Amino acid sequence: MACFARGRTVIKDAAELKVKESNRIDVMVHNLSLMGAAVTVTEDGMIIEGGRPLKGAVIDSRLDHRIAMSFAIAGLAAEGETKILGAECVNISYPGFYTDLKGFSI
């Protein structure tokens, strides 16, 4: 959501995300960059300059359900098509996610 807000969003004190199943900070920054976001990685988080439109991209979820869901939502507001590799991983925590998501539009 920070990508769509005006101004700068600073996410900090999130270093624990670097040592989970994947380095979620790096994965998020990489995928947001693919979508055209102005995002910079920091030692313990990221800085997002909002107000720029996102564009569709091929997103690697790294089989992390949180990342897949985040980018599915970002893809709703992006221009063009967003494809999420490993999208089925959301079934780990929210089996009806894509069905529910179809009920939303931006």
Residue 19's CATH number? 3.65.10.10
- Residues 99, 43: Cα–Cα separation, whole Å: 36
Nearest CA to 1 among 28, 22, 34? 28
pTM of the model: 0.89
| Predicted confidence (pLDDT) at residue 2 exceeds the cutoff of 60 | yes
**Six token digits for residue 33:** 């960059």
Domain span at residue 26 reads 8-101
| Pairwise CA distance, residues 33 & 10, whole Å | 16
Q: Is residue 2 part of a domain?
A: no
Residues 65-99: tens digit of each pLDDT: 999 999 999 999 999 999 999 999 999 999 999 99
Total number of domains in the chain: 1
Decide if 27 contacts 67 (C-beta within 8 A).
Answer: yes
Which helix (H) or strand (E) covers residue 16, if one does?
A: none
